[in-house]
A and B are shown apart, each in its own frame.
Chain A
């Protein structure tokens, strides 16, 4: 990590820690928690999209798998920790199964299979009334109390979500710089070549699918803990598409991109929608403008802009230095 990156990271960490104190208003602290939850969703889908070149339209399915599993286990007498672990295990195993099915087809076929799998989960959640409560959804009796800490206040839940997202972010950061991450990006760019270099492209993609499913499931648990409720509306195609858009808007090829994308979309949806009736149109306009001017997303686009500005400054600075003093 460069010195500048370390400084930026320290500033961002300090700002994030200061959010509840600075904002104060409970509504906006809750909003920040939502941003963190969606950021984790977007980061998890970005493992497939940005690093692996795999576009999934069924990521919200994990919300159904992990979320319903957690609620059902809790209301059937399991303690919160056991319920969370079992729900994560179940959802990750299902991600492995979904990965096997989805990776049978490349490109458009892959997208359509993930879409179909997501819709199957939604369909089960909607129709299996006895199990999922159907359209009425299911309620989680209470938030967990990790180490005896009550998470019912907005700032405490925010810090809990921040800690989970920080752990996930650190793992995904290491993942993106690891040998496995390099193999995944190689498989994204030149699958045939990677195969001829001895890499098992299918297995690399499948493992990534499972890892993305795991972190998507962690985000799902946070979602359920935050809302204390889950219904089929939360795991439909729109949710999957929004998570995908978050990663694309912020910049799928970067680590910070999905977080920025999640922040923009969540804020537009929850804050600006209070003032602008046609907030969907506004979101669409933002997306179109970003894609026109920064086709790789906001974060890579801003980096490129910064690089150009720095390049323009350099020649003028060196010219000034080379001019003789009057």
Chain B
């Protein structure tokens, strides 16, 4: 039997007296497109932070293809095939786009410990970085500085950095946030082209895109999973309308 790509069981996190996630359990199968929805403050980003190790959980388990991640630091989790994008862009604004992707590639390359080699001499890294940028339609902007690019281009750069790492599981935190209609369409198409060997878990508020993209949906409310199922099941559920979609 195939191990789930991501298996979360009984995950708890409290900030003082405030429970951010309460006994969250969910299973995402390899190749699946999973959508996490919920009102603001439902604990969606906190859940991502617990999976990546940005935050440490109070209790529970997170497994990536059957391998326990709890107790591992974030870089170790990344080396096991986890990648993510952030809701608030975290890029290197003074650097060129290609350098941003090179940093992503270096993260998984032993070369990163070399204090003597000249980085720009390693053409293979730059070639790979340009390929990743081409994948998201930014080939022509590779030599531009991030600070001089548009918000939509930066969103795509985030995606390029994550995809360059060839992750097994990709966590996307509101990848369409702040984008124009045209840019949304571009990112939608990009996500549609991500190969099936990459499992995607996405937080998104743009329901048109999200529902078109996701195969299964998990609804979080006050840190708890209250509905989970196929698109049709979740949309039809009374609790989804009550806490998220409205009547």
Q: Which residues of A contact B (CB under 8 A)?
A: 174-175, 177-183, 186, 189-190, 192-201, 207, 211
A-B contact pairs, 9 of them (CB 8 A): A178-B118, A179-B106, A180-B112, A182-B99, A190-B92, A195-B75, A196-B74, A198-B79, A201-B75
Chain A residue at minimal CB-CB distance from B86: A193
Inter-chain CA distance A193–B79, complex, in Å, is 14
Please list the 6 inter-chain residue pairs (A to B) with the smallest Cβ-Cβ separation, ordered nearest first.
Answer: A198-B107, A197-B107, A198-B78, A180-B115, A193-B90, A195-B74
Of A183, A193, A195, which contacts B106 at CB under 8 A?
A183
Inter-chain CA distance A303–B91, complex, in Å, is 26
Which chain B residues in 115-173 approach chain A with CB under 8 Å? Answer: 115-120, 122, 161, 165
Contacts A197-B107, A198-B108, A211-B115; is A182 near B102 (CB within 8 Å)? yes
B114 on interface, CB distance cutoff 8 Å:
yes
- Whether B115 pairs with A182 at a CB distance below 8 angstroms is no
**Chain A residues, CB < 8 A from B79:** 198
B111 on interface, CB distance cutoff 8 Å:
yes
Of B91, B106, B107, B115, which contacts A175 at CB under 8 A?
B115
Other A-B pairs beyond A174-B115, A178-B118, 17, CB < 8 Å:
A177-B120, A178-B115, A179-B111, A180-B114, A183-B112, A186-B92, A192-B90, A193-B91, A195-B74, A195-B78, A196-B52, A196-B83, A196-B84, A199-B75, A199-B112, A201-B75, A211-B115
- Whether B73 pairs with A182 at a CB distance below 8 angstroms is no
**Chain B residues, CB < 8 A from A197:** 78, 103-104, 106-107, 161, 165
Give A291 Cβ to nearest chain B Cβ, in Å. Answer: 20
- Whether A181 pairs with B115 at a CB distance below 8 angstroms is yes
Chain B residue at minimal CB-CB distance from A174: B116
- Whether B118 pairs with A189 at a CB distance below 8 angstroms is no
Give B161 Cβ to nearest chain A Cβ, in Å. Answer: 7
**Chain B residues, CB < 8 A from A190:** 90-92
Inter-chain CA distance A177–B73, complex, in Å, is 27
- Whether B94 pairs with A199 at a CB distance below 8 angstroms is no
Of A177, A193, A200, A201, which contacts B119 at CB under 8 A?
A177
Inter-chain CA distance A183–B99, complex, in Å, is 11
**Chain A residues, CB < 8 A from B94:** 189
- Whether A194 pairs with B84 at a CB distance below 8 angstroms is no
Chain A CB within 10 Å — which of B78, B107, B111 has the most? Answer: B107
B15 on interface, CB distance cutoff 8 Å:
no
- Whether B73 pairs with A179 at a CB distance below 8 angstroms is no
- Whether A179 pairs with B92 at a CB distance below 8 angstroms is no
Inter-chain CA distance A179–B125, complex, in Å, is 11
**Chain B residues, CB < 8 A from A207:** 115
- Whether A179 pairs with B74 at a CB distance below 8 angstroms is no
Give B206 Cβ to nearest chain A Cβ, in Å. Answer: 23
**Chain A residues, CB < 8 A from B92:** 186, 189-190, 193
- Whether B78 pairs with A178 at a CB distance below 8 angstroms is no
Give B112 Cβ to nearest chain A Cβ, in Å. Answer: 5
- Whether A178 pairs with B75 at a CB distance below 8 angstroms is no
**Chain A residues, CB < 8 A from B102:** 182
- Whether B91 pairs with A178 at a CB distance below 8 angstroms is no
Give A103 Cβ to nearest chain B Cβ, in Å. Answer: 14
**Chain B residues, CB < 8 A from A180:** 112-115
Chain B residue at minimal CB-CB distance from A183: B112
Which chain B residues in 71-85 approach chain A with CB under 8 Å? Answer: 73-75, 78-79, 83-84
Chain A residue at minimal CB-CB distance from B94: A189
B54 on interface, CB distance cutoff 8 Å:
yes
Inter-chain CA distance A54–B90, complex, in Å, is 20
B88-100 interface code vs A (CB 8 A; 1 in, 0 out)? 0011101000010
Contacts A189-B94, A197-B103, A197-B104; is A182 near B119 (CB within 8 Å)? yes
- Whether B75 pairs with A198 at a CB distance below 8 angstroms is yes
Chain B residue at minimal CB-CB distance from A199: B107
B10-46 interface code vs A (CB 8 A; 1 in, 0 out)? 0000000000000000000000000000000000000
- Whether A178 pairs with B104 at a CB distance below 8 angstroms is no
**Chain B residues, CB < 8 A from A186:** 92, 103
Of A175, A179, A192, which contacts B112 at CB under 8 A?
A179
